[in-house]
Every structure is written in structure tokens, then in C-alpha cells.
Structure 1
């Protein structure tokens, strides 16, 4: 009886946590729409007055300007305050260490520079490292085509869990996972050929491989790592990134 009550309490707490994440994400979207409307009004007023100003922002080191906001790009400072355009092996020298729960944790440095070129990751799917300035939309988003590693890694930086699967995964498992992802903010899902397990769940610095969607470890991973303590940028948006 005590175990049943504990399971019920855990399930209720997780549902409340997910609901709070969804409410926070919706609030961010409402604020973003309000800012967009306000910005549009300012532009219209400026055009009416015959004054259109173009401001080109450049970084202190003479780099390029900020990405077009309409493309959903962001160029915020990284951990070392710099943005780079050169792809690199961003987690060299590290290795996975498997815990008693089967979750593999990356032991090594995971850099967080924004780059616009492909990155060579030492693990697949990647669990961190340099990444594209644009994240993959991860507000319970299910992609039917592969997502660029560099964009998915940016989503992980925001606290998302990335669910990937190979052709070896059962269709029923793929459908069940898609339903779970759609109901869970800060998650995304896509096919991925270069992985050893039929189904893999990845968070920043952590990864779990399973053979079926009904493995209890799936729930455990989502509960632990959706906006979990490993998140480099907790609360960062999972919307307005790269869409389907």
C-alpha cells in the first residue's frame, strides 16, 4: 500500500512539474508576441515619419552581425563570452561513465560556443559541445526527419531531452514515444541512424539507451533530466527555434 501511495505522489508531482513548465513556456510566448506587436508599431511610426534607421551590430573582435531575428537565431554570449564560426571537436578527451541506473554521464569538458559550421562530436547522438546559434524547436516537438546535431545540442543546453530512434525501433514504440513527447514541454524527437540502441534519450551530458518505449527507465530519465540540474541554461525558450 505504501508503494502505491508513493508511486501516486511521484506521478502527481511530475504532472505538476510538467504543467508548470508548459505554463512558463506559454507565458514566454505571450510576452514575445507582445514585444513583436510593440516593435511593429515602432517601425510603422518610423516609416510614417520618413526615418528608417539601420543598425549593424558587430562583436568586439570584429565578427559578423547578429543573425536575423526572423530566422529565430540567437547569438548570446557563451561560457567564455565569445562566439566562433569555426567547427571543432568540442568534447575531445572525455568518456562516458555508466551509472547503476544505466544512464551514461559524460566525463569531460563540454564547450558551449556558438558556431555556424559542422561540429565533429565524439559521441552519437551528441550530448553537448559547441552548437549552432539556432536551436531545434523542443516544445514537445516530433520531427519525422533527422535534425541537425548542432541545433539539437543547443536544445539540450536549454534543458530539453532529445528522444532518437533507429529503423530497428518498433513502430508501436515510435508512436508511443511520439505521444509522450508531444505531451511533455522541453522535449523533442527525431530519427537518428548513428546510435547503438534502437531508442536513445539524451540530455546535456547524459544519455540512456533502451530497447522499448515501455522500459521504466524512460520515465525515470524524463523525470530527472527535463529541465534537470544538468541544464546549462534553465528556463531558456524551447520555442521559436528551427521548426519542422
Structure 2
């Protein structure tokens, strides 16, 4: 009888061990499936976050004003309203989008609007030849005053104004042959004509608008840009 009991117990013990091992195998399989699922979900989440990040960067670039080279003078329509001191203030909103093509400005010389990403050097720079409007407008955005003249301006006035500009950071000077008056002064959103280099309006305009309240980007550099 004792032998019979030992014989029947052995298979039962073996079956129990087999069931335990089977359960362990099943548990390990479930664990592996869980890890695979976690890795798969994590991959999808990371990919989604990368996609969202790329979209945000692209959108930010568009909002910051780089249009990929399309000229656009949006918001630049309007007219000058002149105060008693002769200074004209542009009535319309001036765009500030960076563009790499020519811009059709509604005023001449332009006093603002979409412009080239590179500013014209304006650290008292005097240019003997015409400069691109789009780069000059960027200099105005930095708070500079732009002195322009055509071939009707007296040589003495041109020389005197050039001397003043050379002594004034945040100013620049260049010829604009098709402007309406012989000598004109421009700042962001503002412009006026002066009769000569000795006109008191010259000093007043410089005092008001060199790094004046109208400046969209006060303190921005006037060096390290385009120079001719």
C-alpha cells in the first residue's frame, strides 16, 4: 500500500510543476507583449511630437516674416498727413515682412514696409550711388534717418549733408534721382522735404527721429549689413 501511494503522488507532483512552468511561460509571454506594445506606443508618440515640433518651427518662421522670396508690400497703402512743422506721417500700416525680391512701395523714397532681410549699413554711411530701397527700409526699421537727394540739389548742400551724416550714427545718405524734391529726409513712417543743408528742419528731424519713438527695433545694429 505504501508503494502504491508513492507511485500515484509522483505524477501529481510532476503535473503541478508542469502547470507552474506553463503559467510562468505565459506570464513571460505577456510581459514581452507588454514591452513591445510600450515601445510601439512610445515610437508613435515621439514621431507625433517631432511632427508637431516641425510644424511649430515652420509656422514660427512664417510668423517671423520670411516669405521665401515673395515680394509683398502688404499693409503699405495709405498717404502722408503733414503737421505744421512739415513732417509727413504715413497713415497706413507698414508691413515688416522679410522678402528677397523687389517691393513696390507706395511712396518714394519709402519710409517702411516689407523689406530685405539684410539692412543697409547706417552707421553714418554715405553712398555715392543709389542703394536698394528694400535694404534702406530695413535700416529705417533699426531707427536710422535716411538723407536722399537728386541732381537738382546744390553740390554745397550735398557735401554739407554728407558731413553731417558721417558724424551721426544711425543715419545714411544716398541719391534717389526720381524723388519729387531735391533734398528729402526719411525715417520709419515719417518724411519731409528740406530747402537746404542749413535748413533748421534738418537738425530738428535728426533730433526727433534718430533712434526716435517711431523705431520698430530700437538699438538694432547699423553695421554688419550691406555696404557699397
SS state of the match for residue 57, structure 2?
Answer: coil
Residue pair 1:137, 1:239 contacting (<8 A) in 2 also:
yes
Matches within 5 A, 1:202-213: 202-213=186-197
Using the alignment, how far apart are the partners of 2:96 and 2:56 within structure 1?
Answer: 17
Using the alignment, how far apart are the partners of 1:170 and 1:82 within structure 2?
Answer: 40
What are structure 2's unaligned runs of at least 5 residues?
1-54
Aligned to 1:194: 178
Alpha-carbon RMSD across the aligned residues, in angstroms, is 2.1
Aligned to 1:113: 97
Query: TM-score, normalised on structure 2?
Result: 0.72
SS state of the match for residue 217, structure 1?
Answer: helix
SS state of the match for residue 148, structure 2?
Answer: strand
Aligned to 2:49: none
Instruction: Verify: 1:146 aligned to 2:130, yes or no.
Output: yes
What are structure 1's unaligned runs of at least 5 residues?
1-57, 63-75
Using the alignment, how far apart are the partners of 1:196 and 1:88 within structure 2?
Answer: 24
Aligned to 2:106: 122
Using the alignment, how far apart are the partners of 1:145 and 1:59 within structure 2?
Answer: 42
The offset of 1:61, in angstroms, is 2.8
Structure showing greater radius of gyration is 2
Residue pair 1:200, 1:209 contacting (<8 A) in 2 also:
yes
Instruction: Verify: 1:170 aligned to 2:157, yes or no.
Output: no
1:168/1:118 CA distance change after superposition, 3 Å: same
Instruction: Verify: 1:158 aligned to 2:155, yes or no.
Output: no
Aligned to 1:227: 211
Match of 1:61 among 47, 58, 61: 58
Query: TM-score, normalised on structure 1?
Result: 0.68
Using the alignment, how far apart are the partners of 2:139 and 2:80 within structure 1?
Answer: 20
Residue pair 2:145, 2:185 contacting (<8 A) in 1 also:
yes
